[in-house]
Structure 1
Amino acid sequence: MRSTNKKFISALACASAMTALAIVDPMGVTKTHQVAQAATDTVPAKSTGVDISSWQGTNLDQQAKSGAQFAVVKVSEGTNYQNPNAQGQIQSAEQNNMMTMGYHYTHFGSNSNQAVQEGNYAVNSAQQAGLPQGSYLATDWEQDANNNTNGSVAANTNAITSFMDTVHDGGYNPMLYSSEWLLKNKVDTNKISEKYPNALWVAKYKTNGREDNPDYNYFPSMDNVAIWQYTQNWRGQNVDGNVNVVPLSNKTTADNNDTSTNAANTNNSNANNGQSSSQAPANPIINNSNATAKPNNNNSTQPAQPTETKPAEKPSTTTNVNSDWTKQNGVFVTGGAINLRTGASTDSKVITQLPANSEVKYDAYRTIGQYTWLRQPRANNEYGYLVGRDNGQAWGTFKEGSATTAKPAETKPANKPAQPVNKPSTNTNANSDWTKQNGVFVTGGAINLRTGASTDSKVIAMLPT
Structure 2
Amino acid sequence: MARELVIDLASPYQVDLTADDYRKVGAKKAIVKISEGTTYTNPDIRLLINRSAEGGVTGYSFYHFGRFHNDGQAIAEAKYFLDQARRTVNPKPGTLMILDAEIENMSTSSVVAFLKTLREAGFKAGFYSYLYLLPEFDLDAILQHADFFWLAAYPLGDKPADANPDFRYFPSAQRVDAWQFTPKLMGYNLDGSITVTENANQLLSGPTPVVSQPAPTPKPQQQQIDSWVDDLGVKWYKETGQFTITDPSGIWLRWGATTQSAKIAALPQGSVVKYDAYCFSGGYVWIRQPRENGQFAYLPTGRETNGKRQDYWGKFE
Q: Which interval holds the TM-score relative to the shorter structure?
A: 0.5 to 0.7
Tell me if 1:202 matches 2:151.
yes
Unpaired segments ≥5 residues, structure 2: 206-317
Q: Summarize the alignment of residues 269-280 of structure 1 with structure 2, pairs less than 5 Å apart.
A: none
Give the structure 2 partner of residue 235 of structure 1: 186
Alpha-carbon distance between aligned partners in 2 of 1:99 and 1:120, rounded to the nearest angstrom:
24
Q: CA 1:175–1:64 in 2, change beyond 3 Å: closer, same or farther?
A: farther
State whether residues 94 and 100 of structure 1, in contact with CA within 8 Å, keep that contact through their aligned partners in structure 2: no
After TM superposition, give the deviation of residue 59 of structure 1 in Å: 4.5
State whether residues 60 and 204 of structure 2, in contact with CA within 8 Å, keep that contact through their aligned partners in structure 1: no
Unpaired segments ≥5 residues, structure 1: 1-43, 144-148, 253-465
Partner SS state of residue 195, structure 1: coil
Give the structure 1 partner of residue 109 of structure 2: 158
Amino acid at match of 1:201: W
State the TM-score, normalized to the length of structure 1.
Answer: 0.40
Amino acid at match of 1:102: F
After TM superposition, give the deviation of residue 86 of structure 1 in Å: 1.2
Give the structure 1 partner of residue 271 of structure 2: none
> For each residue in 1:15-73, what CA deviation from the matched residue of structure 2 results, as whole angstroms up to 9, or x when unmatched?
xxxxxxxxxxxxxxxxxxxxxxxxxxxxx641001111111217454224321111111
Give the structure 1 partner of residue 161 of structure 2: 211
**Pick from 47, 54, 58: which aligns with 1:98?**
58
Tell me if 1:220 matches 2:186.
no
**Pick from 130, 140, 158: which aligns with 1:179?**
130
After TM superposition, give the deviation of residue 171 of structure 1 in Å: 2.8
> For each residue in 1:220-244, what CA deviation from the matched residue of structure 2 results, as whole angstroms up to 9, or x when unmatched?
1101111110001000012111001
After TM superposition, give the deviation of residue 217 of structure 1 in Å: 0.8
Q: CA 1:171–1:45 in 2, change beyond 3 Å: closer, same or farther?
A: farther
Tell me if 1:48 matches 2:5.
yes
Tell me if 1:77 matches 2:77.
no
Alpha-carbon distance between aligned partners in 1 of 2:185 and 2:204, rounded to the nearest angstrom:
28
State whether residues 59 and 89 of structure 1, in contact with CA within 8 Å, keep that contact through their aligned partners in structure 2: no
Tell me if 1:189 matches 2:139.
yes
Q: Which structure shows the bigger proportion of residues in helix conformation? A: 2
Q: Which structure shows the bigger proportion of residues in strand conformation? A: 2
> For each residue in 1:124-169, what CA deviation from the matched residue of structure 2 results, as whole angstroms up to 9, or x when unmatched?
11122215322221111112xxxxx236xxxx11100111111122
Partner SS state of residue 87, structure 1: helix
State whether residues 204 and 228 of structure 1, in contact with CA within 8 Å, keep that contact through their aligned partners in structure 2: yes
Give the structure 1 partner of residue 256 of structure 2: none
State whether residues 93 and 99 of structure 1, in contact with CA within 8 Å, keep that contact through their aligned partners in structure 2: no
Give the structure 1 partner of residue 290 of structure 2: none
After TM superposition, give the deviation of residue 98 of structure 1 in Å: 2.3
Q: Give the aligned CA root-mean-square deviation in angstroms.
A: 2.1
| Residue identity (%) | 32
State the TM-score, normalized to the length of structure 2.
Answer: 0.58
Give the structure 2 partner of residue 121 of structure 1: 80
Give the structure 1 partner of residue 47 of structure 2: 88
Give the structure 2 partner of residue 65 of structure 1: 24
Q: CA 1:64–1:175 in 2, change beyond 3 Å: closer, same or farther?
A: farther
> For each residue in 1:261-298, what CA deviation from the matched residue of structure 2 results, as whole angstroms up to 9, or x when unmatched?
xxxxxxxxxxxxxxxxxxxxxxxxxxxxxxxxxxxxxx
Alpha-carbon distance between aligned partners in 2 of 1:116 and 1:215, rounded to the nearest angstrom:
38
Amino acid at match of 1:216: F
Alpha-carbon distance between aligned partners in 2 of 1:140 and 1:218, rounded to the nearest angstrom:
22
Amino acid at match of 1:136: L
After TM superposition, give the deviation of residue 87 of structure 1 in Å: 2.6
State whether residues 90 and 129 of structure 1, in contact with CA within 8 Å, keep that contact through their aligned partners in structure 2: no
State whether residues 101 and 131 of structure 1, in contact with CA within 8 Å, keep that contact through their aligned partners in structure 2: no
Partner SS state of residue 89, structure 1: helix
Alpha-carbon distance between aligned partners in 2 of 1:205 and 1:45, rounded to the nearest angstrom:
22
Partner SS state of residue 168, structure 1: helix
Partner SS state of residue 160, structure 1: helix
Say how many residue pairs are matched. 197
Give the structure 1 partner of residue 202 of structure 2: 249
Partner SS state of residue 102, structure 2: coil
Q: CA 1:77–1:206 in 2, change beyond 3 Å: closer, same or farther?
A: same
State whether residues 118 and 163 of structure 1, in contact with CA within 8 Å, keep that contact through their aligned partners in structure 2: yes
Q: CA 1:45–1:159 in 2, change beyond 3 Å: closer, same or farther?
A: farther
Amino acid at match of 2:89: G
Alpha-carbon distance between aligned partners in 2 of 1:171 and 1:91, rounded to the nearest angstrom:
26
State whether residues 116 and 145 of structure 2, in contact with CA within 8 Å, keep that contact through their aligned partners in structure 1: no
State whether residues 90 and 130 of structure 1, in contact with CA within 8 Å, keep that contact through their aligned partners in structure 2: no
Q: CA 1:51–1:177 in 2, change beyond 3 Å: closer, same or farther?
A: same
Amino acid at match of 2:91: P
State whether residues 76 and 82 of structure 1, in contact with CA within 8 Å, keep that contact through their aligned partners in structure 2: yes
